[in-house]
């Protein structure tokens, strides 16, 4: 192995199972977001994490199980509980008017989820994670009459805005930003209103 190859390798990780598992999971999200399920290789994920491929099998059981865990890690169900209903619509509208890469970790997670949704191999896995870790928490946060249907509509609008922001790839400015925020705020406020 050349000296350059040795220097380019990530430093060996101390034996800390939780840290190694977390590093593998973070590397998996990055690789799956960049390459998709089919093209991502376990050896590349392990290399990025500074771990051995055998540890992926030990901690996760294999590629599909690692992918499933990476999906779960990409959803933050506790995040919905932190939103204040009174300021939610405005906060989301302002976030959506911003740039897609203001929070690189979130942008990468969303790209990962988009790739998962468009692959026949991974869409069923995404569906399970979506129900459990995204729609469930939204439904609980909304509460009230027809919470399941309202959660679906809110999730669809939220995802649609995320896609628009990702495609736009830059923050809105001036009057366009003001109009966007006003309209988006009204939409999100209507979606969280309890019809009962």
List, for residues 7-58, the tens digit of each pLDDT value.
566 655 456 888 999 999 999 988 888 888 888 999 999 999 999 999 999 9
Q: Which two tokens stand for residue 147?
A: 């919470």
Cβ–Cβ under 8 Å, residues 139 and 104: no
**Residue whose token pair is 């690189």:** 104
Give CA–CA dist 50/60, Å, rounded: 16
Sign of the C-alpha dihedral computed for residues 178, 84, 146 and 125 taken in this order: positive
Q: Model-level pTM greater than 0.75?
A: no
pLDDT tens for residues 164-187?
Answer: 998 898 999 999 999 999 999 999
Question: Does CATH place domain 9-74 in 1.10.10.60?
Answer: yes
Domain limits, the chain: 9-74, 78-192
- 159, 107, 155: which is closest to 131 by C-alpha? 155
């Amino acid at each position: 192995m050349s000296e350059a190859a040795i220097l380019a390798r990530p430093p060996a990780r101390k034996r800390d199972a939780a840290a190694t598992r977390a590093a593998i999971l973070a590397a998996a999200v990055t690789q799956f977001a960049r390459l998709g399920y089919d093209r991502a290789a376990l050896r590349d994920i392990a290399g990025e994490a500074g771990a051995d491929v055998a540890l992926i099998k030990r901690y996760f059981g294999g590629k599909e199980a690692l992918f499933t865990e990476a999906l779960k890690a990409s959803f933050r169900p506790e995040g919905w509980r932190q939103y204040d209903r009174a300021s939610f619509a405005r906060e989301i509208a302002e976030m959506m008017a911003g740039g897609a890469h203001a929070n690189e970790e979130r942008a990468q997670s969303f790209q990962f989820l988009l790739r998962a949704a468009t692959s026949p191999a991974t869409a069923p896995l995404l569906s399970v994670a979506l129900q459990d870790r995204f729609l469930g928490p939204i439904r609980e946060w909304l509460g009230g009459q027809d919470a399941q249907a309202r959660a679906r509509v809110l999730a669809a609008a939220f995802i649609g805005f995320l896609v628009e922001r990702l495609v736009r790839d830059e923050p809105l400015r001036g009057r366009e930003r003001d109009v966007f925020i006003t309209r988006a705020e009204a939409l999100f406020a209507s979606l969280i209103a309890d019809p009962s």
